[in-house]
Amino acid sequence: MQNGPSQNELPPLPRRRFNWKAALSTALFLALVALLAWYVAQNWDDMKRLTELSPGTVALLLGLAALGCVMNSLYHLAILLTYKLKLTLTDWMGVVCVSNAIAHVIPMRGDLLFTAAYYKRAKGLAYTRSVSMAAGNIVFGVAFSLLEILAALLCMGLIDGQWPPLMWLLLLAGALCLGAFAALSLLMERRGHVPKNKRVADILTGFNALLRDKTLLLRLLLCLTGGNLIRLLLYMVCFQAAGLPVTFYQALFYTSVSWLSGIVAIVPGNVGIRESLMGAATLLLGDVFATGVAASLLERVAMMAAYFIFALFFAVPVWRRGFSAKETSK
């Protein structure tokens, strides 16, 4: 009599460890959605104007959001071209649109894992290079946003006589942290030291690689400028629809705060978190908290609609090229 499994008997499957981080993120996401829905209901007088938009305003919102999707795709294309990959429209715009749609519903940055898996299978680009590429550019985006906030605060002070002390302190703290990170990154590269923490190592590697590539820096700067200009115009339309017309430099400030609020994705799309930060930013500039929440919600809906429309168009081609075919080796 055999004590072990027979030849026809399959070995037991290994037990999967409970992913408490994903579970916590999902629970927090549901709680924040419920809290946001409650807040909207409690402040319906300020929110109901969002349901009364004219067809022209809706078309303008969707048009600007679609242009934002295109600029974001061009930004990623500029990065991918540095790896000398042969790319189709599906490989750059399709993947970006599908991954951004995923980012609104999947916790724990599932969009980054999806993107890395696609380029690994379809183009043979190593996971480490793909993740490092995305991580390093976050630092570049933070620096750009801080410069935008500086320009916006200077305009507010010189033109409107508004010098919000808390915002200047936060800007100073952000600049000091960024400067310390840049100095640490350059120092570690000179000494050839690689941090044990994989996420920190990915960010440092990607950031240093970006600093060495001046041509890529220029391309990304142009893409960021164009993309943020479109988002700035989108926020101007959103605040107008929410009942608070804003100037060009105020919209620049809100656009940068909105982008910074999404750096660390605690929950999918940082729903509720971004709206709270936008409401606080609006309050700090002397306006109503609920108006900032309403404008942020409208911008979220417009961008989600644009990404989901593009994602529906690209979903099948992305799946066929990246996940139904055999993995490409390089």
Q: What's the pLDDT score for residue 134?
A: 65
79-112 per-residue burial string, b: 16 or more CB within 10 A, e: under 16? bbeebeeebeebbbbbbbbbbbbbbbebbbbbbb
Among the listed residues 179, 199, 221, the one whose alpha carbon sits nearest the alpha carbon of residue 79: 221
Domain ranges of the chain: 54-322
Question: What's the rounded Cα separation, in Å, for the pair 117 and 123?
Answer: 10
Among the listed residues 220, 248, 223, 253, the one whose alpha carbon sits nearest the alpha carbon of residue 236: 248
Q: Is the pLDDT assigned to residue 168 strictly greater than 70?
A: yes
What 3-state class would DSSP assign to 298? helix
Kindly report which listed range (72-81, 194-203, 268-277) carries the lowest average pLDDT score.
Answer: 194-203
Task: For the chain, give the percent of residues with pLDDT over 70.
Answer: 83
Q: What's the pLDDT score for residue 3?
A: 54
Q: Is the pLDDT assigned to residue 13 strictly greater than 50?
A: no
Residues 6+ apart with CB under 8 A from 293: 39, 40, 43, 275, 276, 278, 279
pLDDT class for 10, splitting at 50, 70, 90? very low
Question: What's the rounded Cα separation, in Å, for the pair 140 and 146?
Answer: 10
Q: Give the pair of three-digit tokens for residue 94.
A: 């399709």
Task: For the chain, give the percent of residues with pLDDT over 90.
Answer: 40
Q: Is the pLDDT assigned to residue 190 strictly greater than 50?
A: yes
Residue 235: C-alpha distances to residues 39, 170, 188, 296 (Å): 21, 22, 39, 8
Amino acid (one-letter) located at 307: Y
What is the tens place of the pLDDT at every residue in 82-114? 888 888 999 999 999 999 898 887 765 667 778
Q: Is the pLDDT assigned to residue 309 strictly greater than 90?
A: yes
Residues 6+ apart with CB under 8 A from 129: 83
Question: What's the rounded Cα separation, in Å, for the pair 258 and 30?
Answer: 21
Q: Is the pLDDT assigned to residue 165 strictly greater than 80?
A: yes
- Residue 154: which H helix or E strand, with range? helix 127-155
Question: What's the rounded Cα separation, in Å, for the pair 26 and 110?
Answer: 12
Q: Nearest-5° angle of CA 253, CA 303, CA 221?
A: 50
Q: Are 73 and 99 in contact (CB under 8 A)?
A: no
What is the tens place of the pLDDT at every residue in 204-215? 777 777 777 788
Q: Kindly state the average pLDDT of the residues 188-204.
A: 69
Question: What's the rounded Cα separation, in Å, for the pair 71 and 63?
Answer: 12
Q: What's the pLDDT score for residue 295?
A: 94
Q: Kindly state the average pLDDT of the residues 259-287.
A: 86
Question: What's the rounded Cα separation, in Å, for the pair 282 and 288?
Answer: 6
Kindly report which listed range (33-47, 89-103, 117-131) carries the lowest average pLDDT score.
Answer: 117-131
pLDDT class for 51, splitting at 50, 70, 90? confident
pLDDT class for 126, splitting at 50, 70, 90? low
pLDDT class for 292, splitting at 50, 70, 90? very high
Q: Kindly state the average pLDDT of the residues 137-141.
A: 82
Amino acid (one-letter) located at 13: L
What is the tens place of the pLDDT at every residue in 213-268? 788 888 888 998 999 999 999 999 999 999 899 999 999 999 999 988 887 777 88
Q: What's the pLDDT score for residue 1?
A: 47
Question: What's the rounded Cα separation, in Å, for the pair 151 and 324?
Answer: 48
Q: What's the pLDDT score for residue 196?
A: 67
Q: What's the pLDDT score for residue 129?
A: 61
Q: Give the pair of three-digit tokens for residue 140.
A: 């570049």
Residues 6+ apart with CB under 8 A from 163: 153, 156, 157
Q: Give the pair of three-digit tokens for residue 212.
A: 């060495």
Mean pLDDT of the chain: 83
